[in-house]
Structure 1
């Protein structure tokens, strides 16, 4: 039950959103037990974002929410891949991104909790 919540300051094209969706779907498998078949994604673009007092450079804030307890190494691999994806697809520099991870033991779906 992963959810990737992505906010970027740049405008995205339909082609870029499709590429992000596809690449995020592949990347989520870096976290053991996670797959695209349960992945939900929110791609919010054109967000007014300031980082280090600068609102002119492309910026991203990415939250990865998962059910369960993956190890730290999985998050390290995911950070490297997310940095690569957002850099290649949207031209956002690695030092202009924050990536936050949240793991939960309480996750609801289809009228009940896991």
Structure 2
């Protein structure tokens, strides 16, 4: 049950959102046991983000939440892929992207918890 939320100061077109969503669906498989079948994705574009006191470049803050745990190595691979996706699709440089991971032990779906 992964969830990936991307907040950026860039305006996303429908095509860009769809392309990023599709690529994130493949990238989530870098975490063992995770797949697009359970992935929820959200985008907040045109956010008022500042980094190093400035907002003069494309920026992104990505939150990845998942039920369970993954290894540091798996997170490193996913971070690399997320930054590649945002660089390729939105021209956001990797040094302007933060990725936060949160492991969740209680996750509800369909009226109950896992």
Compute the displacement of 1:69 (Å).
1.2
- Runs of 4+ more than 6 Å apart: none
**Counterpart-to-counterpart distance in 2, 1:14 and 1:107:** 29
What is the distance in 1 between the residues matched to 2:85 and 2:101? 17
Structure 1: which 5+ residue stretches go unaligned? none
When the two structures are aligned, how many residues end up with a matched partner? 114
Task: Calculate the TM-score normalised by the size of structure 2.
Answer: 0.98
Separation in 2, partners of 1:112, 1:57: 42
Q: Give the C-alpha shift of residue 45 in structure 1.
A: 0.4
- Per-residue CA deviation, residues 18-61 of structure 1 (Å, 9 max, x unaligned), is 10010000000000000000000001100010000111110000
Paired with 2:71 and 2:12, the residues of 1 have a C-alpha distance of 32
Task: Give runs of aligned pairs for residues 1-114 of structure 1, distance below 5 A.
Answer: 1-114=1-114
In 2, Cα distance between equivalents of 1:89 and 1:98: 16
- For structure 2, the 5+ residue unaligned runs are none
Tell me the distance in 1 between the aligned counterparts of 2:85 and 2:112: 34
